[in-house]
Amino acid sequence: MSRFISLIFCLACSYAALAQDSTTAKTHLAVSATYNSGLNYYGRVDSLHSKGYYPSVGLTLKNGLYATTTFVFVQNSLIDQYAATLVEGGYNFNNRKNTWAGSLSASRYFYKSDVSLVQSAVKEVVSASLTHLNKVINITVGGNVKWSGNTDVGLQAGLDHIIRIPTIFGKDVLVLDPSANVFAGTQNFTKTWYEKKSFLLFPVAEEQVTANSRQFNVLSYELSLPIVYGYKKLNLIFTPAYVLPQHLLTVPGQPALSERGANLFYITATAKLTL
């Protein structure tokens, strides 16, 4: 999937907030539906190049606390079915001058046992981000910890510039946010090699040795252009994106165990209603 469904949902919430006319924080319920033309995980894809759609429902309190539930459905040449449920809770905040904004969140994924998505090994994620807001360019840094069979740490750095065009047809607004992000993190993998054994200086056999290794690498670069149209309580969000995966793990002679990925253009489209 595109990094995490939770990240997509948080971005959708953030852009939708920019598109709202009201500046007064208040408790609200939001329902949304998103389509993703190319599910990927830092540019890594499954062999069927699956698409996805996921309805969500979330409650946000006026103090910034929120909780969301997202239901993930996957579509490819073989299946069109429910794949997972994501439950997330967190806190969004900003200072009074609106020069700093940030978020803290914790997510839990519940996958079907037979799901074959690239990120299905990830069970829990804790994330944090901080953005310096200004009229020229916004600077974001973030990090996360992911738990599966192993524990992985991730980092993000990004730049974006918000262009807000109000009152196109009346009580509406158009927001564009060209963005560039780099994602890095640890990668766990297994190395296998053979060592020669000897007896009295004479070689007698070869022994297979396996060891687990972990490296911290750049995982992907991504360029995107979120476009948000907001009218009253309705927000339409369209995001074309281009992701360039880096440091794909490969297992010599075993393509089924190697990561698949290539430069990928994909889009996400979301309709969100705030009640």
- Contact in structure between 132 and 138 (CB atoms under 8 Å): yes
Helix (H, G, I), strand (E, B) or coil at 3: coil
Kindly write down the DSSP assignment for every residue of 124-135, as one continuous string.
Answer: EEEEEEEEE--S
Question: 234-245 and 264-274: which strand pairing?
Answer: antiparallel
| Helix or strand run (H / E) with residue 73 | strand 65-75
> pTM to 2 decimals?
0.84
2.40.160.40, 3.20.20.70, 3.30.360.10, 3.30.420.270: CATH of 5-274: 2.40.160.40
Residue pointed to by tokens 């007698």: 204
Kindly write down the DSSP assignment for every residue of 190-202, as one continuous string.
Answer: EEEEEEEEEETTE
Q: Give the pLDDT score at 271.
A: 97
Calpha distance 155→194 (Å, rounded)? 35
Q: Give the pLDDT score at 100.
A: 95
Cβ density class 175-201: b for 16+ within 10 Å, e for less: bebebebbbbbbbeeeeeeeeeeeeee
Other Cβ atoms within 10 Å of 227 Cβ, number: 18
Per-residue tens of pLDDT for the chain, all 275 residues: 444 444 444 444 444 445 444 445 689 999 999 999 999 999 999 888 899 999 999 999 999 999 999 999 999 988 899 999 999 999 999 999 989 999 999 999 999 887 777 777 789 999 999 999 999 999 999 999 999 878 899 999 999 999 999 888 888 999 999 999 999 999 875 554 445 555 555 555 665 545 466 789 999 999 999 999 999 899 999 999 999 999 998 777 766 667 888 999 999 999 999 99
Helix (H, G, I), strand (E, B) or coil at 11: helix
H helix count then E strand count, the chain: 1, 15
Q: Which residues pair with 88 in a beta bridge?
A: 68, 107
**What count of Cα atoms within 13 Å lies in the side-chain half-sphere of residue 42?**
20
Q: Going by C-beta distance under 8 Å and a sequence separation of 6 or more, which residues neighbour residue 260?
A: 44, 45, 46, 47, 118, 248
Calpha distance 271→166 (Å, rounded)? 19
| Helix or strand run (H / E) with residue 12 | helix 5-19
What are the CA-CA distances from residue 29 to residues 5, 91, 163, 188, 233 (Å)?
19, 15, 26, 39, 11
| Helix or strand run (H / E) with residue 16 | helix 5-19
- In this structure, what token pair is assigned to residue 223? 């360029």
Q: Give the pLDDT score at 200.
A: 53
Calpha distance 25→23 (Å, rounded)? 6
Residue 16 sits at φ, ψ, to 5 deg, of: -65, -40
Cα–Cα nearest to 50, from 21, 73, 27: 73
